[in-house]
Structure 1
Amino acid sequence: MKAVTLICGFLCLVCLNACFDREASNTPEIPKYLKTEKTQKLKKLRHIVLLKFKETATQADIYKVEQAFAELPSLIEQIREFEWGLNNSPENLNKGYTHGFLLTFDNEKDRNLYLPHPDHKAFGKILQPILDDVLVVDYWTNTN
């Protein structure tokens, strides 16, 4: 009976120790299925661009920028997905940014080819005269 009690006590200590070790590290255990090569290939590199225009920008100027940006996917093969839209959040936290653009790339190499691409640079020349500010965030998608 003492042996059973000792074994049960030992197993409880091992389990408690494992729980405390995981909590202490604050790092959740990553399931093996998230580490597979197949899952890595499913991740996408997102490139978010938020635009804030000068008060002097006309609707015609802004329309020209919208059209030029929307044309980039047909000119730059590295862009896998593209979408854009106008802010309509009721929270009023947009800080003057009115336009959001989302570009998707397969990898950082493709994104890095897009940035200095001549068509991207040409777009920048259309945008620059009416641009008040721009905010860009890139991230890898996480689906867990």
Structure 2
Amino acid sequence: MKTITLILALTFASLLSAFADHHGEKKANFRHVVCFKFKADATPEQIKAIEKAFGELPSKIDTIKGYEWGTSVGDKEKAKGFTHCFVVTFADKAGLDVYIPHAAHQAFVKQLKPLLDDVFVFDFVAQ
């Protein structure tokens, strides 16, 4: 009986420790939202190349913890010509501070700029 009690106590302590470790982890919650409005003469092929290039950044910049994107499916008037939205997640602002000047990001910006009519950037900490 003492052995079973000891095993149960150790198991409980181990689970409690794992639970505390998991919930004590710092969540990646710094979001960098970027919306693009492309020039009227940007071709579908050029836009696809931008989508692909942006999608490759997480494999090149290790401070990126998450990446999502999509195209507008809502009211075009409310979107004000913005067609693409990208959400990049970092652990904290320091991750963004590494990302912005990173050579891979700067090469992407150089590829993007000639096609871009406007950009909207919004950074926030997820609650």
Q: Is the 8 A contact 1:45 1:108 kept in 2?
A: yes
Pairwise CA RMSD of aligned residues?
A: 1.7
Size of the alignment, in residue pairs? 105
Runs of at least 4 residues of structure 1 off by over 6 A?
Answer: none
TM score, norm. by length of structure 2: 0.78
Deviations 1:66-103 (A, max 9, x none): 00000000000000000100000137300000000000
| 2:63 pairs with 1:75 | no
| Match of residue 104 from structure 2 | 119
SS of residue paired to 2:78: coil
| 2:88 pairs with 1:139 | no
Question: Which structure has the bigger radius of gyration?
Answer: 1
| 2:90 pairs with 1:105 | yes
CA shift, 1:38, in A, is 4.0
Give, in whole Å, the separation in 2 of the partners of 1:140 and 1:100: 17
Higher RCO (C-alpha under 8 Å, 6+ residues apart):
2
Higher strand share: 2
Gaps of 5+ in 2: 1-22
TM score, norm. by length of structure 1: 0.69
Q: Is the 8 A contact 1:47 1:138 kept in 2?
A: yes
The 5-angstrom pairing of residues 1-144 of structure 1 reads 38=24, 41-42=26-27, 44-90=29-75, 92-142=77-127
Gaps of 5+ in 1: 1-36
Q: Is the 8 A contact 2:28 2:65 kept in 1?
A: no
| Match of residue 7 from structure 2 | none
Give, in whole Å, the separation in 2 of the partners of 1:46 and 1:81: 9
